[in-house]
Amino acid sequence: MTIQNFSMVAGNSKSIIVDIGSLSGIFEFNIKQNNVTLVQKTNLQLTGTILTITLNSADTKGFAGDYEYECILTDEYGNVSTVVSGTISFSKGSGITAEQVFLTAMDLMDEESEDGTYNGYPEEYKKKAWRILTLLQSELTPASMVPSSVTDETSTFYLDDRTSLTVLPYGLAAHLLMNEDQNRASFFNSRYDELKRKRPARAVKISDVYNSGVMV
* pLDDT the model gives residue 212: 45
Q: Which residue has the higher pLDDT, 12 or 132?
A: 132
Q: Is the pLDDT of residue 143 over 70?
A: no
Q: State residue 192's pLDDT score.
A: 96
CB 125, CB 176: distance < 8 Å? yes
**Residue 115: its pLDDT value, please?**
61
**Residue ranges of domains in the chain, CATH in brackets:** 2-91 (2.60.40.10), 98-197 (no CATH)
User: SS3 for 121-158, per residue?
Assistant: CCHHHHHHHHHHHHHHHHHHCCCCCCCCCCCCCCCECC
Which stretch of 36-40, 60-64, 209-213 has the lowest confidence by average pLDDT? 209-213
pLDDT band at 111 (very low <50, low <70, confident <90, very high): confident
pLDDT at 63: 85
The dihedrals phi and psi of 95, each to the nearest 5 degrees, come to: 100, 45
Q: Is the pLDDT reported for residue 43 higher than 70?
A: yes
